[in-house]
Amino acid sequence: MAHSTDRRQFLAGSLTATVALGTGTQLASANDEKVAQEYYELRTYQIPSSEKQAVVHDYLESALIPALRRQRIDRVGVFTQLDKPADVSIFVLIPYPTLDAVGNRNAQLESDKAYQQAAAKLFSLPKSDPAYTRINSRFMKAFSGMPVIELPETTAAKQPRIFELRTYESHNEEKAALKVDMFNAGEIDIMRDVKMAPVFYGEMLIGDDVPNLTYMLSATDMDAHEEHWKGFLSHPEWDRMNKLAKYKDTVSKITKWYLQPTPYSHI
């Protein structure tokens, strides 16, 4: 087996990251230091009924996402659960280029007349009958090994696709940092190598169940996704990394969701 450094150089040299900018795309090296690490907000809208889910979908598609685009915030992903269709929660992934973009967002929404008009239906619902009960929000910073969202080829082609969202909890901050290091040191490259089509990796800065990290994978369907996982688990470089003493006990709990994109999702 090649040494780990040689293996990582081979993987990094044979792969590119799709960096979405505005309405276009360009190819950039996955290790390009000039690409700043994004910040991610992962929202979960807790919704009481399918009727109210339709109201929230309309708000997201017609009001929030267009307003974010006017703030130069794009590639917003919107998803529902694939394996639990009775759950009417909506998952929303919002990438921010800087912390200032996050800090200025609400003030800009308040002064955006087009947004206020488009959001009027949701805002007019009474306290006794709201569109959603709560918004759970988590805030992350992208890994250096994958500093921006990578859009799957199926997204650009508007083909059927599914996603797996995973959270890895750790029992202390040191172990959480080591798990992030493990991804940056080669685990991300292995996932690309076996066609898992990762979308993002985020270190949780603010949210529930910290310390943890969250990432998203994509595939054409569940059968293909399961095959990709088989390829990952049997990959010789993963077998080597998984045996390294420094990465022992870095994950204490794994939570996962299987998602499908809405028709208006950018991802």
Q: What is the pLDDT of residues 118-142, one digit of tens each?
A: 999 999 999 999 999 999 999 999 9
Whether 112 shows a pLDDT value over 50: the answer reads yes
- Report the distance separating Cα 151 and Cα 218, nearest Å: 9
pLDDT range class, residue 92, cuts 50, 70, 90: very high
- DSSP single-letter state for residue 120: H
Whether 42 shows a pLDDT value over 80: the answer reads yes
Whether 158 shows a pLDDT value over 70: the answer reads yes
**pTM of the predicted model, to two decimals?**
0.87
- Report the distance separating Cα 202 and Cα 139, nearest Å: 8
Q: What type of residue sits at position 92? A: V
What pLDDT score was predicted for residue 35? 84
Query: 4-261, which class in CATH?
Result: alpha beta
Place of tokens 């390009």: 32
> In whole numbers, what is the pLDDT of the chain averaged over residues?
90
E-strand spans in the chain? 17-21, 24-28, 39-46, 77-81, 90-96, 134-142, 162-169, 200-206, 212-219, 253-261
What pLDDT score was predicted for residue 156? 87
Task: Tell me the mean pLDDT in the region 149-163.
Answer: 94
Task: Tell me the mean pLDDT in the region 35-61.
Answer: 97
- Report the distance separating Cα 98 and Cα 101, nearest Å: 5
160 in Cβ contact with 154 (< 8 Å):
yes
- Report the distance separating Cα 185 and Cα 225, nearest Å: 23
Whether 15 shows a pLDDT value over 50: the answer reads no
- DSSP single-letter state for residue 182: H
Instruction: Indicate the range of 13-22, 133-142, 182-191, 241-250 predicted with least confidence.
Output: 13-22
Q: Which two tokens stand for residue 100?
A: 């200032």
pLDDT range class, residue 33, cuts 50, 70, 90: low
Q: What type of residue sits at position 58? A: D
Rounded to a whole number of angstroms, the CA Rg of the chain reads 19
* Number of other residues whose CB lies within 10 A of the CB of residue 60: 23
Whether 28 shows a pLDDT value over 50: the answer reads no
What pLDDT score was predicted for residue 11? 44
Q: Which two tokens stand for residue 222?
A: 């569940």
Pairing between strand 134-142 and 200-206? antiparallel
Whether 233 shows a pLDDT value over 50: the answer reads yes
